[in-house]
């Protein structure tokens, strides 16, 4: 047990430790646990093999003590040096009668006591007598004086999880709403972008059409000018031809007339 205590301390000072787990460390008595652990609030000694509580230290702030699955049959008076005790688990021990439990009357804040699997639970009207002996007791062996079951840690966790799930659900709805809003914004953004793109495309097309039209007009005008120049050249040639033919023809006719005369 001493080695286990040193291991659990992890180089911390004894008066700084508030929780200590010594389960299954195997010892018939308390060894190595001293009064120095003044800040200790929770101590677990499950399945250690304890046969006596002799030597149990003075722990002024101890609130929770686990002693289940040992071989304790008496000596509960050694626990009275921890007056703030609220939770005590003695299930699976060797307590045979209610007289052995008398020292527990000293604990004015004891609210939870577990004696399951002890011979003392077979005593007639056992529950009624224990609740009468310990007025501060709220739950004995997991049930109150009206046989209502104590809320378990699992149920508490379920309640917490239920609340969290509802909150998470609302959060999911909010996220979904946010996602839908974002998708709407994205859709609106897509439409506006496509419109802008189409407008730009139309402008580009119109610019391209106008440019082509201007180029076509320029080409047509060039062709027309070229045709006009060609026509003018042709006309000039024709005119020259006519002018050239007239003197020759007139000379030929003159020769012919002279010849005829």
Asked if residue 117 belongs to a domain, the reply is: yes
Task: Judge whether 178 lies within some domain.
Answer: no
Which pLDDT score is estimated for 46?
Answer: 98
255 within domain boundaries: no
Sign for the pseudo-dihedral over CA of 135, 140, 142, 148: negative
**Distant-in-sequence, close-in-space partners of 129: CB < 8 Å, separation ≥ 6:** 98, 123
| Residue 227, pLDDT score | 53
Number of domains in the chain: 1
Alpha-carbon distance of 18 to 44, in angstroms, equals 12
- 225 occurs within a structural domain: no
Q: What is the pLDDT along the chain (261 residues), one digit of tens a residue?
A: 999 999 999 989 999 999 999 999 999 999 999 999 999 999 999 999 999 999 999 999 999 999 999 999 999 999 999 999 999 999 999 999 999 999 999 999 999 999 999 999 999 999 999 999 999 999 999 999 999 999 876 554 444 344 444 444 444 445 455 554 554 544 444 444 445 445 554 555 544 444 444 444 554 545 455 455 545 544 443 444 444 444 444 444 444 444 443
Range of the domain at 90: 1-140
Running DSSP on this structure, what letter comes out for residue 149?
Answer: B
pLDDT at 199: 54
Tell me, what DSSP letter sits at residue 247?
H
Span 37-54, pLDDT tens digits: 999 999 999 999 999 999
For residue 225, the model assigns a pLDDT of 54
* Residue 253, pLDDT score: 46
Residue 174: burial class (beta carbons within 10 Å; 0-12, 13-18, 19+): exposed
With helix as H, strand as E and coil as C, how does 12-30 read? CCHHHCCEEECCCCCCCCC
Does some domain include residue 164? no
Residue with tokens 């007339």: 257
CATH number at residue 15: 3.80.10.10
Is residue 171 one of the residues assigned to a domain?
no
pLDDT of residue 260: 46
Q: What's the pLDDT at 177? A: 52
Distance CA 256, CA 237 (A): 28
Does 124 map to a domain? yes
CB contact set of 192 (below 8 Å; sequence gap of 6+): none
Position 86 scores a pLDDT of: 98
117: left (phi over 0), alpha (psi -120 to 50) or beta: left
Q: Where are the alpha helices (DSSP H) in the chain?
A: 2-9, 126-133, 153-260
Q: Which residues of 222-235 are buried (b: 16+ CB within 10 A; e: fewer)?
A: eeeeeeeeeeeeee
Contact between 117 and 90 under an 8 Å Cβ cutoff? The reply is no
Task: State the DSSP string of 157-171.
Answer: HHHHHHHHHHHHHHH
């Amino acid at each position: 047990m001493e080695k286990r205590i040193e291991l659990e301390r992890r180089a911390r000072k004894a008066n700084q430790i508030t929780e200590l787990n010594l389960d299954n460390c195997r010892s018939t008595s308390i060894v190595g646990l001293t009064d120095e652990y003044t800040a200790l609030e929770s101590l677990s000694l499950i399945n250690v093999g304890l046969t006596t509580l002799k030597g149990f230290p003075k722990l002024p702030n101890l609130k929770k003590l686990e002693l289940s699955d040992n071989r304790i049959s008496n000596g509960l008076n050694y626990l009275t040096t921890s007056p703030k005790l609220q939770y005590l688990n003695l299930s699976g021990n060797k307590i045979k009668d209610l007289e052995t439990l008398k020292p527990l009357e000293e604990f004015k804040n004891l609210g939870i006591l577990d004696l399951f699997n002890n011979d003392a639970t077979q005593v007639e009207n056992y529950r009624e007598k224990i609740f009468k002996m310990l007025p501060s007791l709220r739950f004995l062996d997991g049930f109150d004086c009206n046989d209502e079951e104590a809320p378990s840690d699992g149920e508490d966790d379920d309640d917490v999880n239920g609340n969290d799930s509802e909150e998470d659900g609302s959060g999911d709805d909010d996220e979904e709403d946010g996602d839908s809003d974002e998708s709407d914004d994205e859709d609106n953004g897509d439409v506006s972008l496509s419109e802008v793109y189409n407008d730009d495309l139309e402008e580009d097309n119109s610019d391209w059409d106008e440019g082509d039209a201007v180029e076509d007009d320029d080409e047509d005008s060039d062709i027309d000018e070229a045709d006009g120049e060609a026509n003018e050249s042709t006309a000039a040639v024709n005119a020259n031809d006519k002018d050239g033919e007239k003197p020759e023809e007139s000379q030929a006719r003159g020769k012919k007339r002279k010849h005829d005369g």
